[in-house]
């Protein structure tokens, strides 16, 4: 009876090993059966590339201007064999910056097979106009007051100034500290002429040019039509501001 116990233990161990081997063989057979059905998987790197390409297309930027972090893919299931195509769109109409969510429709041989959700944090870099010194309220901005730098604009106002020409000659609405990225609301157009200024009124055609002195009756900006008084005739007319000393009558 004592000899029977070790024999039973030995048989149990052998039987258990046989069961384990049998289970492994079944799993391998199942794996081969699934593989033989012809499914294909899309790597996450492919979705990342699709995500970035969509951003570049919508924002009109190069890949070097965009950085994606915390990227996630949800719903990426195996697809049947065939030609895969993707259709990507934004699920909501939020600004494409910060946290962005996209949907990718995956088609195989022209038929939609799955809908994959893509998301990630998007940082956008762009050259912006910054102040090179402290500016006081009411100062007229000159070229030496500004410089251009590449900055992450994701958390900045969409009114950020990216073209220096859109700041030169403008007047500051309030004090602005050095190294501040300029926004459009910080600036206002500076009037070229103000009420009471004396200017030359110019009227010309193909072969005739007439000039006369005039007095400005209201402040005016470059290219704007303003009311002018002809000093000689005392007549009030409208003329276009050319510069601080000249206005032109349109025929």
CATH class of the region 198-248: mainly beta
**Domain residue limits, the chain:** 44-123, 125-188, 198-248
Give the pLDDT band (50/70/90) at residue 6. Answer: very low
Residues 58, 50: Cα–Cα separation, whole Å: 12
* Per-residue tokens: 102: 């996209």
- Residues 147-157: what's their mean pLDDT? 90
Residues 128, 138: Cα–Cα separation, whole Å: 22
> Is 189:172 a contact under the CB 8 Å cutoff?
no
What pLDDT, in 10s, does the model give residues 26-63? 333 333 333 435 788 899 999 999 999 999 999 999 99
Residues 214, 203: Cα–Cα separation, whole Å: 12
Q: How many CB atoms lie within 10 A of CB 33?
A: 9
* Per-residue tokens: 165: 């020409």
Nearest CA to 113 among 92, 86, 88, 90?
86
The CATH number, out of the four listed (2.20.25.10, 3.90.180.10, 3.90.1210.10, 3.40.50.720), of the domain defined by the range 125-188: 3.90.1210.10
- pLDDT at 29 (0 to 100): 39
Predicted model pTM: 0.60
Nearest CA to 87 among 114, 56, 122, 120?
114
> Is 51:120 a contact under the CB 8 Å cutoff?
yes
What pLDDT, in 10s, does the model give residues 157-211? 888 999 998 898 899 999 999 999 999 999 988 888 999 999 999 998 878 889 9
The DSSP 8-state label assigned to residue 245 in this structure reads T
Give the pLDDT band (50/70/90) at residue 237. Answer: very high
- pLDDT at 26 (0 to 100): 32
- pLDDT at 37 (0 to 100): 59
Contacting residues for 4 by C-beta, under 8 A, at least 6 apart: none
Task: Tell me the CA distances in angstroms from 67 to 12, 16, 121, 124, 169, one per residue in order.
Answer: 60, 54, 8, 7, 34
- Residues 134-153: what's their mean pLDDT? 92
What pLDDT, in 10s, does the model give residues 61-104? 999 999 999 999 999 999 999 999 999 998 777 778 889 999 99
């Amino acid at each position: 009876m004592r000899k029977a116990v070790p024999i039973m233990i030995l048989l149990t161990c052998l039987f258990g090993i046989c069961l384990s081997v049998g289970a492994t063989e079944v799993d391998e057979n199942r794996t081969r059966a699934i593989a033989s059905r012809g499914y294909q998987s899309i790597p996450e790197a492919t979705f990342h590339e699709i995500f970035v390409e969509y951003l570049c297309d919508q924002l009109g930027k190069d890949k070097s201007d965009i950085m994606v972090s915390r990227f996630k893919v949800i719903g990426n299931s195996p697809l049947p064999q065939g030609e895969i195509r993707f259709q990507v769109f934004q699920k909501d109409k939020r600004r494409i910056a910060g946290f962005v969510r996209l949907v990718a429709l995956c088609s195989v041989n022209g038929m939609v097979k799955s809908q994959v959700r893509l998301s990630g944090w998007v940082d956008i870099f762009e050259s912006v106009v910054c102040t090179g010194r402290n500016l006081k309220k009411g100062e007229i901005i000159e070229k030496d007051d500004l410089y251009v730098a590449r900055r992450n604009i994701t958390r900045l106002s969409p009114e950020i100034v990216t073209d220096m020409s859109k700041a030169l000659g403008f007047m500051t609405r309030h004090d602005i500290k050095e190294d501040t990225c300029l926004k459009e609301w910080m600036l206002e157009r500076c009037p070229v002429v103000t009420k009471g200024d004396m200017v030359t009124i110019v009227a010309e055609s193909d072969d005739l040019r007439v000039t006369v002195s005039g007095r400005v009756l209201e402040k005016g900006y470059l290219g704007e039509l303003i009311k002018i008084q002809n000093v000689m005739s005392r007549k009030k007319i409208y003329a276009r501001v050319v510069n601080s000393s000249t206005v032109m009558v349109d025929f």
